[in-house]
Chain A
Amino acid sequence: MIDWQPLWLSFRLAGITTLLLFFIAVPLSYWLAYSRQRWKVAVQAIVSLPMVLPPTVLGFYLLLAFSPSHAFGRFLDHYLDTRLVFTFPGLVVASLIYSLPFMTGPIIAGFSSLSPNLRAASRTLGKSDRTTLIRILLPNIRPSLITGAVLCFAHTIGEFGVVMMIGGSIPGQTRVASVAIYDEVQSINYSLANHYAIALLAFSFAILLLVYLVNHHFNHASTLP
């Protein structure tokens, strides 16, 4: 009998990560797209690191950082009474770092695709950068925002290496669907592993289909009133 808890946990983790990342990634992407400061390339490289770094490397360093035997983990433990190793909040923090470039990438590309004169025009109309962002820029990069959110959600669902390193496999806490598949294979319980795998496969396909459908819709509907 399939245990739905790992799938539910995966969706909860992905949902919370996507929501939080949206609010982090929009201002960060805006700055990366428009800032003229030279050191922004260094920030860009750091933000993109999780795309090329083996998840176990990221997970290993996060494990060290979150561990109460190291400074940051000790600080969290002593002063905030929070532990991030082998806990769900720890998975959320790790996912925020791990999935960040999947959210920022499409949003930066969206900002860069807009004519620079749109921002300039809004300024000449007396509008602040914040008003310009909310009323003009974001509505005109809606497909990029949706793509970023969906990719971030799907990428977090598929997270394995980082979760294994800092979350382990505690049922109801950190045992997400991808970890459950691994556990079932280890126990030679291929049938159950297959159930989880099919659920993830179907979900991943549906999510990509949704992205392409939404973008197709916006490309054709953008001219309509």
Chain B
Amino acid sequence: MLHTAQGLRALDLGFQWRQGRLLAIYGPSGAGKTTLLRILAGLTAADSGFIEVEGETWLDSDRRINLPTRRRSIGFVFQDFALFPNLTVRQQLEFALPDPKNKAIVTELLSLMELEEFHNLRPALLSGGQQQRVALARAIARRPRLLLLDEPLSALDDEMRNKLQDYILTAHRHYQLTTFLVSHHLPEVLRLADEAIVLENGKITAQGDPADLFAGRTITITITKNT
């Protein structure tokens, strides 16, 4: 059940996706987008369900399987980035490594995300855009099967948003990731996603190519003016 401004609602859905694609989960606030992402990550418990990723069962309520978050191969970028205040940029990435000795990917990510000059700074000294890049790099550092992005650009202005969309696309393609992007920003979905699902009131109301999916949507503006 979802706690929304309109009260309790059920999140009830099923879908499949292809490896290496960027899937957008689009919908209004309270539709259950973040909850869906958190269930995939194992951070929120589903009442019942089934999740299988590349042949590995993460959740199967019938067989009482529920893989804990730390054993799911995921990278998660939170809305507030959730950077560790006590660690420098480089340390954040190193912390994420499954094998602390293999630091080659840290150097590569710092370069790819253009973070080299900030590598020794703590998050509090970084701008919103820089923090977002660190959060993205940290989520990728462990080479996850699924990259989950929870409205990662919502806290940024439009100019920064456009720039950071490039970083997301670069990372997604460079590391051939399967990426889930939660967004309520249509241009972002159209620009980034290979495929999209539309979530409304906890249910999938449409799924497919974003360009086809949203082509029929019109913009209605109602203006009233007292003269």
Contacts and interface: CB of A to CB of B under 8 A. Distances in A.
Interface string A97-117: 000000000000000000101
B58 interface: no
Contacts of B211: none
Interface string A125-145: 111100000011001100000
B86 A136 contact: yes
Majority SS of interface residues in chain A? helix
Given A118-B82, A121-B84, A124-B76, A223 B95 contact: no
B122 A124 contact: no
B120 A225 contact: yes
Interface string B68-86: 1111101110101011111
Contacts of A187: none
Contact of A117 (B70, B75, B82): B82
Contacts of A140: 84-86
A57 interface: no
Given A126-B98, A140-B85, A117 B122 contact: no
A26 B96 CA distance: 24
A123 B95 contact: no
B70 A121 contact: no
A180 B201 CA distance: 71
A117 B81 CA distance: 8
Contacts of B88: 225
Contact of A124 (B43, B80, B85): B43
A124 B124 contact: no
A69 B121 CA distance: 63
A201 B169 CA distance: 64
Contact of B122 (A115, A127, A136, A225): A225
A222 interface: yes
**Best-buried of A120, A121, A140 by chain B (most CB within 10 Å):** A121
A121 B78 contact: yes
B78 A120 contact: yes
Given A223-B124, A225-B120, A124 B41 contact: yes
Contacts of B75: 124-125
Contact of B69 (A115, A117, A124, A139): A124
10 contacts: A117-B80, A117-B82, A121-B78, A121-B84, A122-B95, A124-B70, A125-B70, A128-B70, A140-B85, A225-B88
Interface of B: 41-43, 68-72, 74-76, 78, 80, 82-88, 95-96, 98, 120-122, 124-125, 138-139, 141-142, 148
A-B pairs with the 5 shortest C-beta distances?
A117-B82, A121-B82, A223-B124, A124-B76, A123-B69
